[in-house]
Amino acid sequence: MQPLFVYNTLSRQKELFKPVHEGRVGMYVCGPTVYGDGHLGHARPAITFDVLYRYLMHIGYKVRYVRNITDVGHLEHDADEGEDKIAKKARLEQLEPMEVAQYYTNRYHAAMDKLNVLRPSIEPLASGHIIEQIELVKKIIEKGYAYVSNGSVYFNLRKYQDDFKAYGRLSGRVIDEMLSTTRDLDGQGEKQETMDFALWKKASPEHIMRWPSPWSDGFPGWHTECTAMGTKYLGETFDIHGGGMDLMFPHHESEIAQQTSVTGHGPCRYWMHNNMITINGKKMGKSLGNFITLDEFFSGSHLDGDGKEMLEQAYSPMTIRFFILQAHYRSTVDFSNEALQAAQKGYERLMQAYHTLGKLRPSKVSSVDVKGYREKCYEAMNDDINTPVVISHLFDAAKLINTVNDHHATFTQSDIDELKSLFDSFVFEIMGLRDEASGDNSALIDGLMQMILDIRATAKSNKDWATSDKIRDALGSLGVTVKDGKDGASWEV
Position 293 contacts RNA (CB under 7 A) = no
Return the range that interacts with RNA (CB under 7 A); candidates 34-42, 94-102, 280-288, 294-302.
Answer: 280-288
Tell the smallest beta-carbon distance from residue 142 to RNA (Å).
21
Span near RNA by CB under 7 A; candidates 61-69, 93-101, 131-139, 193-201: 193-201
Closest to RNA by CB, 172 or 212: 172
Residue with smaller CB distance to RNA, 265 or 349: 349
Q: How far is the CB of 333 from RNA (least distance, A)?
A: 4
What span, in angstroms and rounded, lies between the C-alpha atoms of 39 and 455?
A: 47
Of 201, 241, 252, 321, the one binding RNA (CB under 7 A) is 201
Residues in region 322-381 near RNA by CB under 7 A: 326-328, 331-334, 336, 338-339, 341-343, 345-346, 349, 352
CA 257 to chain centre: 26
Among 128, 235, 285, 362, binds RNA (CB under 7 A): 285
410: left (phi over 0), alpha (psi -120 to 50) or beta: beta
Q: For residues 239-278, which are near RNA according to CB under 7 A?
A: 245-246, 248-250, 276, 278
Cβ-contact 47, 241 below 8 angstroms: no
Nearer to RNA, 68 or 120 (CB): 68
Neighbours of 446 (CB within 10 A): 12
Contact string (CB under 7 A) for RNA, positions 44-83, x = contact: ------------------------------xx-x----x-
Q: CB neighbours (10 Å) of residue 448?
A: 11
Decide: 14 and 393 in contact? Cβ < 8 Å: no
Smallest separation (angstroms) from RNA to the CB of 52: 16
**In the complex with RNA, which residue's Cβ is closer, 159 or 456?**
456
Least separation in angstroms between residue 127's CB and RNA is 14
* Contact residues for 73 (Cβ-Cβ < 8 A; gap 6+): 33, 35, 84, 85, 86, 87, 88, 97, 209, 219
Contact letters (x/-) for RNA, 91-130, by CB under 7 A? Answer: ----------------------------------------
Q: What one-letter code names the amino acid at 429?
A: E
Contact at 8 Å (CB) between 65 and 59? no
Q: Does 281 bind RNA (CB under 7 A)?
A: yes
Asked if 32 interacts with RNA (CB under 7 A), we say no
Q: How far is the CB of 62 from RNA (least distance, A)?
A: 28
Among residues 281, 279, 190, 285, the alpha carbon closest in space to that of 245 is found at 285
DSSP states along 171-239:
TT--HHHHHHH----TTSTT-SSTT--EEEEEPPTT----B--SS-SEEE-TTHHHHHHHHHHH-SSEE
Q: In angstroms, rounded to a whole number, what is the distance separating the alpha carbons of residues 291 and 285?
A: 5
Counting contacts by CB under 7 A, is residue 189 touching RNA? Answer: yes
Q: Which of residues 402-461 bind RNA (CB under 7 A)?
A: 402-403, 405-406, 408, 460
Which listed residue (20, 389, 437, 457) binds RNA by CB under 7 A? 389
Q: Answer whether 188's CB lies under 8 Å from 182's CB.
A: no
Cβ atoms 111, 295 nearer than 8 A: yes
Q: Which lies closer to RNA via its Cβ, residue 104 or residue 200?
A: 200
CA–CA dist 320, 298 (Å, integer): 9
Half-sphere exposure for 295 (CA within 13 Å, toward CB): 9
Q: Return all residues near 319 (Cβ < 8 A) that are at least 6 apart.
A: 340, 343, 344, 347
Tell me the number of residues near RNA by CB under 7 A: 76
Indicate which single residue of 91, 138, 143, 173 sits in contact with RNA (rule: CB under 7 A).
Answer: 173
Given 37, 50, 71, 84, the residue binding RNA (CB under 7 A): 84
Mind giving me the DSSP string for 98-112?
Answer: HHHHHHHHHHHHHHH
Of the candidate spans 107-115, 156-164, 386-394, 421-429, the one that interacts with RNA by CB under 7 A turns out to be 386-394
Does 31 contact RNA by CB under 7 A?
no
Minimal distance, residue 257 CB to RNA, in Å = 14
Q: Does 198 bind RNA (CB under 7 A)?
A: yes
Residue 278's DSSP bridge partners are: 283, 334
Helices (H), 424-485: 442-461, 465-477
**For RNA, which stretch binds (CB under 7 A), given 143-151, 195-203, 310-318, 412-420?**
195-203
Decide if residue 148 touches RNA (CB under 7 A): no
Supply the minimum distance, in Å, between the C-beta of residue 195 and RNA: 7
Rounded-to-integer distance, Cα 75 and Cα 81, Å? 9
Which residue, 64 or 251, has its beta carbon nearer to RNA? 251
Least distance from C-beta 22 to RNA, angstroms? 28
Under rule CB under 7 A, which residues in 472-491 are in contact with RNA?
472, 481-486
- Alpha carbons 384 and 376: distance in angstroms, whole number: 14
